[in-house]
């Protein structure tokens, strides 16, 4: 099954294309479509571009739409009102920040997440938000202290790999206290080569989760 | 004997209404641009003019078969051709109005109210604005209220247009809470809302289309 697609709706042609460019680095197999500007490329949004964009991004698994300012959202909603019920059932409009949301959604889609999970990833990627406190629960069932050895540390691609794979496991995982299933939270750590990562996991697949992080860190995310 | 003839609010009226919208909005293009430049992005006049010119181009292909068909044609065209918030807002308004018009040959007083109420509800649903937010809802909302009283269609339209004009003027002292103008906060005070003004023009055009001046020579 092809991954969930993403449609980026912006008032600006270049902004929409730029967000797609940013997101596709992390998600090469996700259908990413830009619908920026009016029909003639001016500032504004186009009903027709959004309509076509949804059809293009929907390869069977549905589409998550992320829009910038209010009227882009209204245009997207109007298009939704026009779709037939069958197609509309596969389209979600995320209430998300356009750049952060698109990157997080693309990573989630790349890792095989379903429509609702991709929407959640987009909506939870809030710029400037404090990382959530790790839940005050019992001792983690699994933990490890690892040292980053790859040259660039925990930058975007490794963060995407970790968050994407961990989100498929039945486990709560934190790295240095932040949600390891959130690519934005991992990137925000800014962990560099030589730094230590404290990995803690809870849940049925906690051991598997810690093993996954250990393997990735030890092989330097394939960058060593 | 010269005078004023009130025409039936039928398909031909709906076509005349849309053409009159295009004429007035072309005439008011610069004014709406100036109003929008003060508190928005300055494109409202241009967008409305472009959108309704496209509507007229569609009407030139042939007369509408019903009021509902004319309103739907306007909805589809405005959605596609008007950039900015006005496209989906007016597009939704005309689309919901078209549904409310249903299969009626012509609109009477209660039907005018139903059509205007459906348009307003569509705008409220799409834009999430309430009365007092300094948006086109401040023209639509009193218009619907005013249309409830008169018995016949033309009087209902007249009451709605007058109430929309008053409502639009009353946006001047308000603080914008929706759309691009809301980023200005209190700096939006003292300016008319361009969407409320264009709404007033559109509703006045509906009256103009219903009332045709005829010369003495045309009367038996």
Query: Do the strands A196-202 and A172-175 form a parallel or antiparallel pair, or are they unpaired?
Result: antiparallel
Concatenating the DSSP letter of every residue in chain B gives: --EEEEPPBSHHHHHHHHHHHHHHHHHTHHHHHHHHHHHS-S-HHHHHHHHHHHHHHHHTT---SSHHHHHHHHHHHHHHH--TTHHHHHHHHHHHHHHHHTT-SSB-HHHHHHHHHHHHHHHHHHH---TTSSSTHHHHHHHHHHHTS-SSHHHHHHHHHHHHHHHHHTTTTPPP-SSGGGGGGGGGTTS--HHHHHHHHHHHHHHHHHEEEE-GGG--
- CB–CB of B80 and A71 under 8 A? no
Structure ipTM? 0.75
Residues of A annotated catalytic, as ranges: 11
Residues found in chain B:
220
Please state the rounded mean pLDDT for residues A73-85.
92
Q: For an interface test with B, give the residue of A40, A51, A72, A74 to mutate (most B CBs within 10 A).
A: A74
Whether B44 and chain A come into contact, CB under 8 Å, resolves to: no
Asked if B87 lies within 8 A of A48 by C-beta distance, the reply is no
Mean residue pLDDT across chain A: 89
Query: Taking the mean position of all CA atoms in its chain, how far away is CA A60?
Result: 19
Separation CA B98–CA B75 (nearest Å): 8
Q: In terms of residues, how long is chain A?
A: 224
Query: In the block, which residue shows the tokens 């044609």?
Result: B73
Contacts B92 to A, Cβ<8 Å: 78, 81
- Chain A partners of B43 at a C-beta cutoff of 8 Å? 43-44
CB A169 within 8 A of CB A199: no
Per DSSP, helices labelled H in A27-152 are 47-57, 70-82, 85-88, 98-110, 115-124
CA distance B179 to B177: 7
Q: Give the confidence band of B220 by pLDDT, cuts at 50, 70, 90.
A: very low
**Considering only CB atoms, which chain A residues are within 8 Å of B194?**
none
pLDDT digits (tens, 9 = 90+) for B34-84: 999 999 888 899 999 999 999 999 999 999 999 999 999 999 999 888 878
Confidence at residue B216, expressed as pLDDT on a 0 to 100 scale: 41
CA of A50, closest CA in chain B: separation in Å? 10
Whether B180 sits inside 8 A of A70 (CB atoms) is yes
Closest CA of chain A from B48, distance in Å? 13
**Treating both helix axes as pointing N-terminal to C-terminal, what angle do B153-169 and B109-127 enclose, rounded to 10 degrees?**
30
Alpha-carbon distance of A48 to A39, in angstroms, equals 8
- Residue of B41, B81, B85 lying closest to A74 (CB–CB): B85
Which tokens go with A35?
Answer: 């619908």
Compare A207 and A39 and report the one with higher pLDDT: A207
Beta-bridge partner residues of A67? A9
Chain B residue numbers with beta carbons less than 8 Å from the beta carbon of A45 are: 83-84, 87
Give the chain A residue nearest B84 (alpha carbons): A44
- Of all residues in chain B, the one with the smallest CA distance to A77 is B126
CA B34, CA B41: separation in Å to the nearest integer? 10
Enumerate the H helices of chain A as residue ranges.
13-26, 47-57, 70-82, 85-88, 98-110, 115-124, 156-166, 183-189, 206-218
Please enumerate residues of A whose Cβ is less than 8 A from a Cβ of B: 38-39, 42-48, 69-71, 74-75, 77-78, 81-82
Asked if B205 and B164 touch (Cβ cutoff 8 Å), the reply is no
Tell me the chain B residues in contact with residue A41 when contact means C-beta distances shorter than 8 Å: none
Contact criterion met (CB below 8 Å) for A36 and A17: yes
Gap from B84 CA to chain A (nearest CA, Å): 5
How high does pLDDT run on average in chain B? 93
In tens, the pLDDT along B133-161 reads 999 999 999 999 999 998 899 999 999 99
Q: Is the pLDDT of residue B131 over 70?
A: yes
Q: Is the pLDDT of residue A146 over 50?
A: yes
**What is the band of B98 on the pLDDT scale with cuts at 50, 70, 90?**
very high
B contact residues 154-213, partner A, Cβ 8 Å cutoff? 178-180
Q: Residue B217: what pLDDT?
A: 42
Q: With bands split at pLDDT 50, 70 and 90, how would you rate the model's confidence at B218?
A: very low
At A156, phi and psi to the nearest 5? -55, -50
> Does the distance separating the beta carbons of B88 and A78 come in below 8 Å?
yes
**Range with lowest mean pLDDT among B4-13, B25-34, B44-53:** B4-13
Scanning every residue of chain A, which has its alpha carbon at the shortest distance from the alpha carbon of B124?
A74
Question: Tell me, what's the pLDDT at B28?
Answer: 97
Question: How many C-beta atoms lie closer than 10 Å to residue B19's C-beta?
Answer: 17
B186 contacts B174 by C-beta, under 8 angstroms: no
A187-192: long-range contacts, CB 8 A cutoff, minimum separation 24:
A187/A154, A187/A155, A187/A156, A187/A159, A188/A131, A189/A154, A190/A153, A190/A154, A191/A148, A191/A153, A191/A154, A192/A148, A192/A152, A192/A153, A192/A154
Exposure b/e, A120-131, CB count within 10 A at least 16 = b: bbbbbbeeeeeb
Identify which of A82, A37, A83 has the alpha carbon closest to the alpha carbon of residue A58.
Answer: A83
Name which of B89, B95, B180 is nearest A74 (Cβ-Cβ): B89
Residue pLDDT, tens place only, A148-178: 988 888 887 888 888 888 888 899 999 999 9
For residue A5, which of A76, A63, A54, A56 has the smallest C-alpha distance?
Answer: A63
Q: Is B136 on the interface with A (CB under 8 A)?
A: no
Chain B residues touching residue A39 (CB < 8 angstroms) = 80-81
């Amino acid at each position: 099954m092809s991954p969930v697609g993403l449609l980026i709706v912006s008032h600006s042609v270049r902004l929409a294309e730029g967000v797609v460019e940013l997101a596709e680095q992390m998600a090469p197999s996700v259908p990413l479509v830009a619908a920026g500007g009016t029909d003639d490329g001016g500032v504004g949004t186009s009903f027709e571009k959004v309509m076509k964009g949804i059809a293009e991004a929907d390869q069977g698994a549905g589409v998550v739409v992320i829009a910038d300012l209010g009227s882009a959202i209204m245009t997207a909603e109007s298009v939704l009102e026009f779709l037939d019920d069958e197609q509309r059932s596969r389209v979600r409009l995320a209430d998300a920040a356009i750049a952060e949301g698109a990157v997080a959604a693309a990573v989630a889609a790349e890792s095989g997440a379903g429509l609702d999970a991709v929407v959640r990833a987009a909506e939870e990627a809030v710029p400037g938000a404090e990382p959530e406190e790790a839940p005050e629960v019992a001792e983690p069932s699994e933990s490890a202290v690892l040292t980053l050895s790859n040259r660039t540390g925990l930058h975007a691609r490794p963060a995407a790999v970790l968050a994407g794979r961990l989100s498929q496991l039945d486990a709560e995982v934190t790295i240095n206290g932040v949600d390891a299933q959130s690519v934005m939270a991992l990137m925000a750590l800014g962990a560099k080569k030589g730094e230590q990562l404290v990995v803690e996991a809870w849940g049925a697949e906690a051991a598997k989760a810690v093993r996954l992080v250990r393997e990735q860190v030890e092989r330097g995310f394939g960058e060593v | 004997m010269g005078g004023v003839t009130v025409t039936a609010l039928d398909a031909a009226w709906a076509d005349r209404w849309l053409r009159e919208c295009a004429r007035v909005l072309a005439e008011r293009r610069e004014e709406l641009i100036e109003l929008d430049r003060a508190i928005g992005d300055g494109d409202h006049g241009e967008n409305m003019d472009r959108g309704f010119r496209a509507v007229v181009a569609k009407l030139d292909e042939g007369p509408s078969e019903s009021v509902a068909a004319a309103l739907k044609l306007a909805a589809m065209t405005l959605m596609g051709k008007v950039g900015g918030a006005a496209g989906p807002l007016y597009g939704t308004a005309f689309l919901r109005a078209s549904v409310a018009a249903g299969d009626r040959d012509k609109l009477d007083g209660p039907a005018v109210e139903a059509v205007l109420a459906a348009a307003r509800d569509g705008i409220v649903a799409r834009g999430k604005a309430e009365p007092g937010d300094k948006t086109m809802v401040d023209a639509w909302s009193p218009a619907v209220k005013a249309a409830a009283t008169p018995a016949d269609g033309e009087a209902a339209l007249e009451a709605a247009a007058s109430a929309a004009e008053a409502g639009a003027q009353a946006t001047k002292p308000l603080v914008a809470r929706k759309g691009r103008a809301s980023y200005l906060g209190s700096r939006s005070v003292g300016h008319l809302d361009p969407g409320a003004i264009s709404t007033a023009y559109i509703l006045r055009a509906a009256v103009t289309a219903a009332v045709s001046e005829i010369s003495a020579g045309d009367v038996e």
